Structure 1
Amino acid sequence: MSAVDNRTASCLCRSISISLAGEPSLKVLCHCDSCKKASGVVFQANAFWPKENITVSDPEGMLQEYRDTSPDSGRYVLRSFCRNCGSFIMTTNPTHPDISKMAIIPIGIINGEKESMVPDHEFFVKRKLGWLESREGVLEYQGME
């Protein structure tokens, strides 16, 4: 295994840390309204890891979960964040058949090198702002097909 096969991530105050084993299964930019609201930016850069490859350390009990019923899919997602600093930690989607065994980690909370975390998919491009350019070679989806 190379150094990037084992990554760590943390919230801003470092109360919550995550160990990420292996490489992500998928790296995406999401333009859905829910991700925009949750992250406070005009798209969210996410990496999908199998849940069994993630270990969360939360010794002070700061991890809070919010059941988000706003996604376009009509399903709900669980958004986890730090109660202390407000950092967005991960999203899980227990109702989606394709990704119920995945955890969606915002690329921004990953410690260290992120240059190799280039998203190669974009979800909800129907909600993508017109001033954001498309990138060559990126697969674009109108929703989260």
Structure 2
Amino acid sequence: MTTEHKGSCLCGGIQITFTGAPKKNFICYCSDCRKGSGHLGQFISQYDSDDVKVTDKDSNLKEFVVTATKSGFPKRKQYCGGCGSTILTLPMKHNGEVAMVRPSLLDSDFSQFAPNLGIFGDVKTEYTKGCETDEFF
């Protein structure tokens, strides 16, 4: 039996379902993910595009194409036009066959999607130089 994972954007206008286990779970610290998430990095799971279904009854799904990428290939970032939540990224390096989904959109426990890899960690280190790790306030 294949497991389905269901979630939605913040406003609920877009539903997402991903089927089965991800190929990878990671945190990306590149500047695109930093700016897109409003944080130091973005929590991402990699799936085959065929295993991801987006339901958008009200045509809220919008797309922004990032052309200046480290790989040299554009990536299509899809988001909700109603609330701004990033839904998924389609890196064109993989001809649209790979979907990078946000497990934080799941409606239930996403602990099984804990990242086990970080990419662009050198960028994270640059942003956090001098930060104390035990107490911030």
Same fold (TM over 0.5): yes
* Structure 2 counterpart of 1:117: 113
Amino acid at match of 1:112: S
Provide the C-alpha distance between the structure 1 equivalents of 2:107 and 2:21, rounded to a whole number of angstroms.
14
Amino acid at match of 2:9: C
Matched, 1:54 2:52: yes
Unaligned stretches of 5+ residues in structure 1 = 134-145
Q: CA deviation at 1:100?
A: 4.1
User: Of the two, which has the highest radius of gyration?
Assistant: 2
The alignment's TM-score, normalised by the length of structure 2, stands at: 0.86
* Structure 2 counterpart of 1:32: 30
Unaligned stretches of 5+ residues in structure 2 = none
Change (3 A) 1:56 1:73: same
Identity of aligned residues (%): 26
CA RMSD of aligned residues (A): 1.9
Flag the structure with higher helix content. 2
Q: CA deviation at 1:70?
A: 3.1
Deviates more, 1:10-19 or 1:102-111: 102-111
* Structure 2 counterpart of 1:76: 74
Any idea what the Cα deviations from partners look like across 1:36-70, whole Å, max 9, x if unmatched? 01111111110011111111110100000000123
The alignment's TM-score, normalised by the length of structure 1, stands at: 0.81
Amino acid at match of 1:117: F
- Paired residues of 1:32 and 1:72 also in contact (CA < 8 A): no
Provide the C-alpha distance between the structure 2 equivalents of 1:10 and 1:36, rounded to a whole number of angstroms.
21
Provide the C-alpha distance between the structure 2 equivalents of 1:19 and 1:109, rounded to a whole number of angstroms.
10
